[in-house]
């Protein structure tokens, strides 16, 4: 039997380079299972970022209210039942740390993004579980990419999961033109494919999503229970992506896949070859990384 091959691509990984901006805006879309767990990390990183950026703003977005059965798996307590999830988390963290987190108790739409993107690094933190919400996040990148011809100032970190598996994806570019010079600088990557380009199936509604929209999160949790720990694990990986992207500037991976059943975690390093392989479903995009430096 041949010995297993060892993936050493991480030794050649490039570091993500974001546009240098004076302001930082963290927009967390979804405050339920993963979002409720991520909120603490989002606030903590925002608090730390005050030492680096002239201004830091945080927005939580979620239209749902806390239900009694959410307490089983989500980051809420009995006294918060009946309250909006985004407003509840914002109030709690603002009171604890003196922050000014804004809460929007509605569904996310690209129109909600009003920052002047030229001088504001904006990170979309997608903690949603349906194709329609991810399409709205992808449309935000489409909208802003039309006015970019170099390094984008808007990035999307998407976290998703099933019962015991999940993934975290990072990207900012929706067009081949933005990707063609991603590796033109030594040891740096300036643009990465949007999560929707890496996994286009995320934008396709599943047959049961119409039924899911007619049922509450609590009903879904009881009908199809997830692991009690999967959301916190996904949130922890999203938080590490966010930390490395905005503060420590040493992020060298663009996708992470987690399987709690086997206890395995696999990440894709930021190299031309790894990106080409990840985009093999779209030959046109993959060609941009075939001969990258």
Show the tokens assigned to 104.
């929007």
Whole-number average pLDDT of the chain: 88
The band of 286, judged by pLDDT with boundaries at 50, 70 and 90, is: confident
The answer to whether position 213 is within a domain reads yes
The answer to whether position 227 is within a domain reads yes
The band of 218, judged by pLDDT with boundaries at 50, 70 and 90, is: low
The answer to whether position 136 is within a domain reads yes
The answer to whether position 5 is within a domain reads no
pLDDT of residue 219: 63
pLDDT > 70 in the chain, percent: 86
pLDDT > 90 in the chain, percent: 69
pLDDT of residue 77: 95
The band of 291, judged by pLDDT with boundaries at 50, 70 and 90, is: low
The answer to whether position 255 is within a domain reads yes
Give the pLDDT confidence of 73-131 residue by residue, as tens digits.
Answer: 999 999 999 999 999 999 999 999 999 999 999 999 988 775 555 689 999 999 999 99
The total number of structural domains in the chain stands at 1
CATH of the domain at 258: 3.40.50.720
Mean pLDDT of 260-266: 94
Domain that holds residue 57: 12-289
Non-local (6+) Cβ contacts of 154 within 8 A are 113, 117, 122, 123, 124, 140, 141, 144, 172
Predicted TM-score (pTM) of this structure: 0.90
The band of 180, judged by pLDDT with boundaries at 50, 70 and 90, is: confident
The answer to whether position 44 is within a domain reads yes
pLDDT of residue 205: 87
Is residue 9 over pLDDT 80?
A: no
pLDDT of residue 1: 57
Give the pLDDT confidence of 10-65 residue by residue, as tens digits.
Answer: 777 999 999 889 999 999 999 999 999 999 999 999 999 999 999 999 999 999 99
The answer to whether position 1 is within a domain reads no
The band of 284, judged by pLDDT with boundaries at 50, 70 and 90, is: confident
């Amino acid at each position: 039997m041949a010995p297993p091959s060892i993936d050493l691509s991480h030794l050649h990984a490039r570091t993500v380079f974001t546009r240098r901006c004076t302001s930082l805006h963290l927009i967390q879309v979804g405050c339920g299972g993963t979002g409720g767990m991520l909120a603490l990390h989002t606030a903590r990183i925002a608090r730390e970022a005050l030492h680096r950026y002239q201004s830091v703003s945080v927005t939580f977005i979620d239209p749902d209210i806390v239900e009694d059965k959410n307490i089983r798996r989500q980051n809420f307590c009995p006294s918060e039942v009946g309250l909006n999830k985004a407003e509840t988390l914002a109030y709690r963290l603002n009171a604890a740390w003196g922050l000014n987190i804004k809460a929007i108790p509605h569904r996310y739409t690209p129109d909600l993004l009003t920052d002047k993107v030229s001088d504001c690094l904006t990170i979309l933190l997608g903690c949603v579980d349906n194709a329609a919400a991810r399409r709205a996040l992808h449309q935000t990148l489409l909208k802003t990419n039309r006015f970019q011809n170099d390094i984008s100032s808007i990035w999307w970190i998407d976290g998703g999961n099933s019962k015991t598996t999940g993934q975290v994806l990072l990207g900012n570019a929706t067009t081949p033109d933005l990707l063609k010079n991603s590796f033109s600088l030594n040891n740096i990557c300036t643009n990465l494919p949007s999560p929707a380009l890496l996994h286009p199936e995320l934008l396709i509604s599943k047959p049961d999503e119409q039924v899911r929209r007619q049922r509450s999160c609590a009903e879904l949790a009881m009908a199809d229970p997830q692991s009690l720990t999967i959301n916190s694990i996904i949130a922890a990986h999203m938080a590490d992506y966010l930390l490395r992207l905005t503060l420590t500037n040493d992020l060298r991976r663009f996708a992470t896949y987690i399987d709690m059943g086997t206890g395995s975690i696999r990440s894709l390093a930021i190299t031309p070859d790894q990106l080409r392989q990840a985009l093999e479903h779209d030959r046109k995009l993959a060609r941009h990384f075939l001969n990258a430096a």
